[in-house]
Structure 1
Amino acid sequence: MKNLLVLICFLVSTIGFSQTLVTGKITDQNSEPLPGASISEKGTTTGVISDFNGNFEITISSNEAVLSISYIGYETQEVTVSGQSQLDIELAESAVSLTGVTVQGFAGIMGKSRKRTESIQTTAESVTALNAEGIESAGITDISSFSTLVPNLKFNSSQSIGLNFITVRGIPQVRGGDAPLAFVIDGVTIPDPSLLSQDLYDLALVEVVKGPQGALYGKNAIGGAVNIYTKDPTNKMSNQIKLGVGNGGFKQAQFISSGAIAKDKLFYRFSTQYKDFDGLLTNEFLDEKVDFREDINVRGQLKAKLSSNFSITGSYQYFNIDGGATYYSVNPTGTDGEFTGGILDPNPADGNNVIFSDVLGTSKMTNNYGTLKMDYNLTGVKLQSITSINKVNRSTNGDLDFLELDGLTQGEEITTKTFNQEIRINNAKTDTKFDWSLGGFYQKIEKDFYQNGTTGVDFGGPFEYDTADYINETQTIALFGFGDYKLTDKLTLSAGFRLDMDKFTQDDVLFVTNSERDNSEIQPKVSLSYQANKNVLVYTNYGRGYRNGGFNAQPTDLFNRDFEDETSDNYELGFKTTSWNDRFILNGSVFYSKLNNQQQYILDLTTFIAGVYNYDKSEVFGFELESRARLSNFLDVFANVGITDAKIIEGGSTGGDDGTFTNNSAYDGQKTPFVPVSTFAVGLESSVNITDDLKFNGFLNLDTTGKTYWHESNRDAFTTDAYSLLDARLGLSYKNWKLELWGKNLTDKAYYQEFSPGEFVGSPDDVAWRGQPLTVGTAISVKF
């Protein structure tokens, strides 16, 4: 880290100071940010685009430079800098936008997949993103609702609040393990995958970039990254209140406020939301709803501009979620005609997927998350420091046999504490062929785990166990760098790396053992992109990622004491095109990944111990296409498709330390479990200005998940067929009021998010986790 600071000082000292840095924000007449606006200095080739919050930074040749600001559908405006270092510019809507087709589809979406602002159509990555307007139109409220718009991405939840299963490009998440995607909020990597369960609101950007992103985001970005950016505090006062209701006793209240405490100097943003849901799924034995959920979320931000070049932003978020848990479905008649459980149809059928446990499961998750970000702008260089702390508590109580049998219950508590510190230096010059960034990163994670899987546990209140069964600690030091160099006006070479140096330790209180392991992993990334013309981009890239290994509770016949780090080498060829006068977008890519030590989860019911093991080698081949067409100024049609062929090449063997083992080579050549073989979505989006004050919005999406194998054997008895879910949202805005109607799973399709065959874990019962049935609701909001 010391060497890094020396390098930073050297770079800063060598930068020339003849130019001037200007920052600013581009908004419309309602103070809403305009992402992707073009800002250029007249008489030069210097130009930038505004980000998803409407912000921009540009280095100009003199204090009297003239900036030209343009945005499709708005009048172009020219502004003389006149020595100002901060410019807030409001654009007026053009009359042409009311009659002509002016929207560019994806080309207007600004992302930050490579840690800098750029249009998706010029990014040499497979990226799907929505800015604030698209998030609101599509009704994005969580990662699950966004995943339906992303090819080769599937998000499922199971068992309890915070237990998620994410699959991206053939790489699944193991139960309770790290996700194959880095999860990034406002530029800070959040290591606990349970936080993907939180509600999303008041957002400026939601973005998924696929393929290994270790060079940019570090460990566990083996399949990609999810970028989430909240809306910035504003200089102009604005408030919003939203109230909603729905079936299943759903209630919602939301309040957002932003403005200046000291004009042009100190700004705030406060957001809070409350949701309550009684549930729709019924436990037939207890005659109670089981999928209930109550969610309280509070977020605050303060931003201070201490000078024209220096700003500090502090943020804090708290949420508390209480909900149902362990409500797995069983076959009520079993194989012998009695109510004992048994073989379950992996495709839900009436009478074969009944919730019938004698314990009403409950779960709870609380989160406290704070960040401090400091930005220092010099001419040509931007220094950034990000410090964050995070604490997550999760608890679960519920049935273990999932029947009306007495005695078998389960309970666990998990506490995760994280400290992050990142220092980054970025190029800020806009008139150079070489764009670069470099920095250092430190992270410490402590995870305390307590579990009782046989007789249950009485905690006497949330998170009050006396001592943990296991205390896991991970410390990471990383160095990273990334750069783009324009070989020609059309050809760009990009390269980067990240060196993660990890140390893992585990204190096993139950068996009085201590374990530790060290690992260093270099994650390179190289890409070559060719901008044939302004409408066609072709790119190829290679990336390496890894997901760290760890320790199991103890060895069994099914898994070892520890499990290995998983690595992925990905090769990709892609294209991005815009045609039909910028009204039709078609993006696509083909990819191939080689994985070593791919991780898999299993529960050994003979010992009631869960663990993770590794396949020696596996591979994934696939492709994906995304398209959007603006048929008129009032109607878009969009579609995406993803195909994944994920296979186990060498299953290898795993087992305990006493000489017993399980041979997994019988699964060589089989499909990787938990991976849908395809995803497909098609939809319509409409926006109509009925009058100057009255506006209609509509969004319709049909999402199809392909066949999914739940076990390495690939037997039909453990395979779910393809199914489709239909979602819709309608909105009617009048001045500052908006009325919304929404519906999810409108055909009330029965489906499973998880299926567990009992045959392979020593249980007579198959169990499955049911997806959410038909939900509908309405909301009204007002801005003032």
Structure 2
Amino acid sequence: MKSQNANLQRPASKPRLLTAAICALASSSGSLLLPAAAQAQLEEVVVTARARSESLQDVPSTVTAFTAGQIDDMGIQRAEDFISQTAGVSMINTVETGDSSLSIRGLNGARDAETNFALIIDGILYVNTYAFNREYADLEQIEILKGPQGAQYGRSAAAGAVIMSTKRPTQETEGELKFSFAEDNTYTGLATIAGGLSENVAGRLTVDYRTSDGFYSNSFLNDDVVDNQENYAIQGRLVFDPTDTLSIDTKLRYGKSESAAIAFNAGFAIPSFQAFGTPGSEAFYQDVNDHDFIFSNNVKPDNQQDVWEFSIKADWQFDWASMTTWMAYSDTEDSFIADGTSGAFGFYNGTEACQNTLDALAPSYTPDVPGGVTALPAPTFIFGSAPGAAVLPPYSPTTCDGYQYQERFQEDISFQIQFDSPADQALRWQAGAYFLDIERYQAVSQALDDGTNWPNPSGNTPQEIFSPLTDAMVNDTFDTTVLAVFGSFAYDISDRIELSVAARYDREKREATNNVPSPADGNFSNFIDFCGGQCTLDGETLPASPLNPGFVNFDDFTVASEIGKRSETFDQIQPKVSLTWDVTDDTTVYTSWGVGFKAGGFNNAGSTEIVDFYLVQNGGALVAPPVLFEEETSSAFELGFRSALLDNTLNLNGAVFYTEVDDMQFFEFFVGPFGLLRTASNIDEVTLQGFELSAQWAMTDALRLDVGYSQVDGEIDKNSLRDYTVGNEVPNNPEFTANAALQYTQPIGDWEMFGRFEYSYKGDTYYHTVQDDIVPATLFGGPPANYDVTKVDGFGLANVRLGLRSMNWSITAFAQNVFDEEFIAEVILAPEFGGGFISPGTQRRMGLEVSYNF
């Protein structure tokens, strides 16, 4: 086995092993036509997947890697730019700026719980879920590991890991300026400069900026406030090398983002409502893939995020080992305000503001009226302005929806120390310890829209969450403390066989403290009266209803403070065993087995009681989500191969995998008269199995082809929350994913012309455990809702880049989604609501990018 950089080069040879597999792949792709002569060779890729530098060929896991040259060729700026070219991985990001989620081989990340993958940037583990979805500057390499990596990276690496390396400053002065402009008033900018500051100190300063009007517009406000965004970040880095054996790396970053949020329309699945015969009623049962998106809410959404990050990392080299220690700190404040969902229940219909807006908009609800005021989202129809005379979707142009407001603040600090043996010995080992402390504050409130300055509230700034307008809320502080120890060894049984054993023990303590005040704690003029004015405590009538409806059992009222602090501790040993065999100098076969782990946690206080009263006791076909959702554990087996063929011009890789998951964490969205709830629950038992193939081919000196394909079959074996979903597919798991990229380069004097065509395909996808099921729409009186119209059809996206570059200059024309494919980005179902919330995908965007480096 080869573990040092100096030993990474492999002799060129042409083994006959796997020739049949190569021919089969060439035949199936239709593109792999062998050239008469291929002069170029693929570069050797060195990765840090196991926290030490080694050849990608030697890693006993499936890894997709992008080198610095590929990152530049692909124009990677954000995570979605490389996820689309990674087989077996898909990404959604629809609710707000930082609310992204990855599916890796069918293992999902549950919103409001933990991420399902470890994010490592320059050797430091980032635990804030918001850290992933942002601009990336100065990238040098990206590695995506698939399958559980908990033995190496801990409790957040159940599905895999994303490892990024950025350009380290040196004594050589260098810099870059990059600008791009594209459709939709989309502009980006990047400026970076690096170099020596003294004999032993080098630094880098980077600033990036992005702004866009987005793809969609609000037809009621006549403004681009649906998916617009503006963000910037400033990052400084200092590297201090006081001796030949010690290096200290310090980074400080501040990022700010302001954008829209909740770019959704409602999608209903209630066939019986079509019998109304009223114009617009046909939309109550409609395939989500046929939905015509209209955004016409009267509230301008506003999502604001501020992020501070600081880290310091030290590397010491000793004769017997090396030691790496680091500390990382992160502080994120994220909030958004948007139109609410309550209009669908007529909740605010009795208010004067609601009735006034219904009267003003009545003509535009009737499709037969010539010159209607504005197009409105379906299904919408109105019988009059009296309470109960309108059927409205969420996010309507009326004030009848109210506001929804959310705050999520997180502060975390972590430490790690790790020892590594020298890499040039037969027995290589690692050992270390890790500490993490997280404080996360999460609150969601519903508030009355009193119609002030309707239809465009002045400024639309987020309201104080405890303002007199607040009607309902959940509000908790979650504290997490993690202690872990880990170790591994890799032993060369022979020149061609390596045995690797790793294990990690994580102990995680979770605490939750409720922050919702009782009515006695303040003078709240709550519109919602959950007790009909008769909320009592110790026989005394309370002056107001509780802000959290979960604190009312309609006979008595529980003071928030009596809930107290909830606490639970989770722990798990995460082993991984791998065997790697160099069958020839150019072909490696590996197998591994490992355990993945994600700690459990608490939902917002009151969530269980709210769902139980409104959605279970009223005839819902589910069990209320637990106060405490369980830890998720998985057992994964993989068998794979890597080969460098045809004189190292073709790499062919493949793997089969099988995973059993216990208590898979799953995000549930509940909506009703109580406002909305975001909860995490568990799917008791899940089975995932599939295979993956990929190839990289230097067809000629000028032409390179990269292809990948992954198929994952996931099935729900047991689901106590919704027992009727057993046998359904695992949610947010595409039927298959495929990608291909063709890169062409041609020297022209001192310049080089280059062109790149990328294509990615995401197969049919369900986003909820409820699929071809018929479930009572509890909130509408129990009519059957048929969810066979909620599967998102597969779609393919193509990107093109074409340009010229020299040693210092580059000019590139690009087109994203060049064929303007229409697709659905996500469907968030709320089954008891009788439907869900649909978000559209991106549209075509063309632009030009210019860069200068020195």
TM-score (norm 2): 0.76
| Contact kept? 2:219, 2:294, Cα under 8 Å | yes
The match for 1:594 is 660
Letter aligned with residue 677 of structure 1:
E
* 462-471 vs 181-190, greater mean Cα deviation: 462-471
Letter aligned with residue 764 of structure 2:
K
The match for 2:369 is none
CA deviations over 1:643-682 (Å, ceiling 9, x no partner) = 01111101124xxxxxxxxxx2211111011111100112
Distance 1:472 1:463 in 2: 23
Question: Residues 595 and 429 of structure 1: is their aligned pair in 2 closer, same or farther, counting only changes over 3 Å?
Answer: closer
Tell whether 2:287 aligns with 1:287.
no
| Contact kept? 2:731, 2:765, Cα under 8 Å | yes
Distance 1:253 1:462 in 2: 29
Letter aligned with residue 586 of structure 1:
L
* 1:731 CA displacement: 2.6
Tell whether 2:595 aligns with 1:544.
yes
Tell whether 2:586 aligns with 1:535.
yes
Question: Residues 188 and 359 of structure 1: is their aligned pair in 2 closer, same or farther, counting only changes over 3 Å?
Answer: same
| Contact kept? 2:40, 2:700, Cα under 8 Å | no
**1:154-233 aligned within 5 A:** 154-233=90-169
Q: Percent identity?
A: 23
Tell whether 2:410 aligns with 1:416.
yes
* 1:159 CA displacement: 1.6
The match for 2:736 is 678
Letter aligned with residue 489 of structure 2:
G
Distance 1:383 1:268 in 2: 23
Tell whether 2:582 aligns with 1:647.
no
Distance 1:479 1:455 in 2: 50
**1:724-763 aligned within 5 A:** 724-758=796-830, 760-763=831-834
The match for 1:445 is 438
* 1:344 CA displacement: 6.5
Give the number of the structure whose residues are more often helix, by fraction: 2
Distance 2:465 2:397 in 1: 27
The match for 1:661 is none
Distance 2:603 2:268 in 1: 33
**1:621-636 aligned within 5 A:** 621-636=689-704
Q: Secondary structure in 1 aligned to 2:789?
A: helix
Question: Residues 463 and 531 of structure 1: is their aligned pair in 2 closer, same or farther, counting only changes over 3 Å?
Answer: farther
* 176-185 vs 201-210, greater mean Cα deviation: 176-185
Distance 2:109 2:198 in 1: 46
* 1:360 CA displacement: 1.8
- Out of 489, 495, 507, the residue aligned to residue 489 of structure 1 is 495
The match for 2:790 is 718
Distance 1:528 1:702 in 2: 34
| Contact kept? 1:101, 1:632, Cα under 8 Å | yes
Question: Residues 727 and 286 of structure 1: is their aligned pair in 2 closer, same or farther, counting only changes over 3 Å?
Answer: same
- Out of 363, 366, 372, the residue aligned to residue 303 of structure 2 is 363
Distance 1:139 1:109 in 2: 20
The match for 2:640 is 574
Bigger RCO of structures 1 and 2 (CA < 8 A, at least 6 apart): 2
Tell whether 2:171 aligns with 1:271.
no
The match for 1:770 is 840
**1:135-154 aligned within 5 A:** 135-154=71-90
* 358-367 vs 584-593, greater mean Cα deviation: 358-367
Tell whether 2:458 aligns with 1:522.
no
The match for 1:41 is none
The match for 1:471 is 477
- Greater Rg by CA: 2
CA deviations over 1:179-222 (Å, ceiling 9, x no partner) = 21111111111112222211112111111001000001101211
Q: Secondary structure in 2 aligned to 1:282?
A: coil
* 1:456 CA displacement: 7.2
The match for 1:584 is 650
Distance 1:528 1:72 in 2: 22
* 1:526 CA displacement: 0.4
CA deviations over 1:679-709 (Å, ceiling 9, x no partner) = 0112201222222x21122221110000101
RMSD: 2.6
Letter aligned with residue 256 of structure 1:
T
Question: Residues 586 and 600 of structure 1: is their aligned pair in 2 closer, same or farther, counting only changes over 3 Å?
Answer: same
* 1:460 CA displacement: 9.2
| Contact kept? 2:288, 2:790, Cα under 8 Å | no
* 1:248 CA displacement: 0.4
| Contact kept? 1:395, 1:463, Cα under 8 Å | no
Tell whether 2:316 aligns with 1:376.
yes
Distance 1:528 1:47 in 2: 15
Distance 2:461 2:720 in 1: 44
CA deviations over 1:344-376 (Å, ceiling 9, x no partner) = 645543x63222322221211221111111111
Question: Residues 286 and 330 of structure 1: is their aligned pair in 2 closer, same or farther, counting only changes over 3 Å?
Answer: farther
| Contact kept? 1:448, 1:472, Cα under 8 Å | yes
Distance 2:201 2:411 in 1: 30
* 1:407 CA displacement: 3.6
* 156-165 vs 470-479, greater mean Cα deviation: 156-165
**1:338-357 aligned within 5 A:** 338=279, 342-343=283-284, 345-349=286-290, 352-357=292-297
CA deviations over 1:31-89 (Å, ceiling 9, x no partner) = xxxxxxxxxxxxxx998327xxxxxxx9xxxxxxxxxx98999xxxxxxxxxxxxxxxx
Alignment: residue pair count: 681
Distance 2:337 2:595 in 1: 39
* 1:250 CA displacement: 0.9
> Gaps (5+ residues) in structure 2?
13-35, 341-393, 451-456, 468-473, 517-559, 613-623, 773-787
Letter aligned with residue 121 of structure 1:
Q
> Gaps (5+ residues) in structure 1?
1-44, 51-57, 59-68, 74-98, 654-663
Letter aligned with residue 433 of structure 1:
A
Q: Secondary structure in 1 aligned to 2:82?
A: helix
Tell whether 2:506 aligns with 1:434.
no
Question: Residues 342 and 517 of structure 1: is their aligned pair in 2 closer, same or farther, counting only changes over 3 Å?
Answer: farther
| Contact kept? 1:365, 1:392, Cα under 8 Å | yes
The match for 1:700 is 757
| Contact kept? 2:77, 2:135, Cα under 8 Å | yes
Distance 2:449 2:412 in 1: 28
| Contact kept? 2:10, 2:585, Cα under 8 Å | no
Letter aligned with residue 686 of structure 1:
Y
The match for 1:26 is none
Distance 2:47 2:268 in 1: 49
Letter aligned with residue 672 of structure 1:
V
Q: Secondary structure in 2 aligned to 1:505?
A: strand
Letter aligned with residue 339 of structure 2:
D
Tell whether 2:845 aligns with 1:780.
no
* 1:176 CA displacement: 3.0
CA deviations over 1:211-238 (Å, ceiling 9, x no partner) = 0000011012110001111110122111
CA deviations over 1:496-550 (Å, ceiling 9, x no partner) = 0010011100001223321000111100010001011121000000011111111
Letter aligned with residue 181 of structure 2:
V
Distance 1:770 1:71 in 2: 47
* 1:439 CA displacement: 0.4
Distance 1:463 1:426 in 2: 51
Q: Secondary structure in 2 aligned to 1:520?
A: strand
* 1:603 CA displacement: 2.4
Letter aligned with residue 311 of structure 1:
S
Q: Secondary structure in 2 aligned to 1:286?
A: coil
Letter aligned with residue 170 of structure 1:
G
Question: Residues 72 and 338 of structure 1: is their aligned pair in 2 closer, same or farther, counting only changes over 3 Å?
Answer: farther
Q: Secondary structure in 1 aligned to 2:152?
A: helix
Q: Secondary structure in 2 aligned to 1:325?
A: coil
